[in-house]
Structure 1
Amino acid sequence: MTFFKSVLATVAIVFGIWLLVLFQPTPVEANAAQASTQVSENETAEPSVKPQNLTALPKAIAGITKMTKLDAIPSLWSEFLQSQTFTSKFTGAPIKLYVVYQDISSDYSEAKVTIGLDASSLHTSKHSVALPEADDFDELLPKGKYSTKQLIQGWNNINYARPIDMVLEVNDLGANGELKSTQLFVHYQ
């Protein structure tokens, strides 16, 4: 699979996930449902899963950042792939591509999306997004290859009753640009 096909597949998966996010119940509906099925005082809630494979998280990600409708993310990917600043880093060695979703609107129709690379590999802080420590993220999907349905399930694991700071998607690309694995994390405020 070529790099272009891998990125297109990733774009299609992300687009599908965001469409499903749009059809989730609003936080008010989720809170009402949660209140009706509260855990009794004697039971303890399961702790959130802390990331095991996120130890090499960069301090910042540099790339293309835009406040965009979630159904317009494919055009942002296209803009990223046309940028020589970023595509010149694809030298045939394995690489990590990061996608950060922040400032997600209350109706989940738009967000500030950053697609980029480790800022230290670009030697720039221009248009960079600082990331929290790896221990502060909750893991939604561990490192692996996922079908669209599994990625959607990962997004469904977000606790929408809590305020979301950011959702982080980590894509590992092989030497020839094919998608090797994906990880999905959330950071709550």
Structure 2
Amino acid sequence: MGSICKNCLGWAARDTSGVLLPYNFIRRDTGPDHASLTITHCGICYADVAWAKNIPRNTIYPVVPGHEIVGIVKEVGSNIRRFKVGDHVGVGPYVNSCKTCEYCKIREEVHCDAKTTHTFNSVDEDGIITRGGYSSYIAIQEGYVFKIPDNYPLVSTAPLLYAGITV
């Protein structure tokens, strides 16, 4: 595993100007519980602008925004059963949580009692700073990846992954 997620090209803000410039960084390897996907589209949300400009006052620079991600699975970890290479998938605003509280157990991670990890500008359990969908690919734990029907246009799907704010 891990042959895909090495060097990644993203678009990052490096300061409060919020200007996004090309940024090369290292993605995590595809672990046994991860799916790696080539990102084809990523929605734009006010949150992306806010964190790029440090409006919430907790931006970790350089920040690669984007939490309305769609793409095509390029690699799956050895424990992955829900996805296969070539599947159309999406990723929303969360990429990890405690997995043990009452909310996580019923797949309502947004209400997690402990800690949710956002798709970008968070520190994941392994200490890696999360970088979002304004990039070429990403490796995500299986539980935070959602199957998209093959006949549904990916270009129309990205905004649906955070519909509460963008639609």
TM-score range, shorter chain: under 0.3
Between 1 and 2, higher relative CO (CA 8 Å, sep ≥ 6) is seen in 1
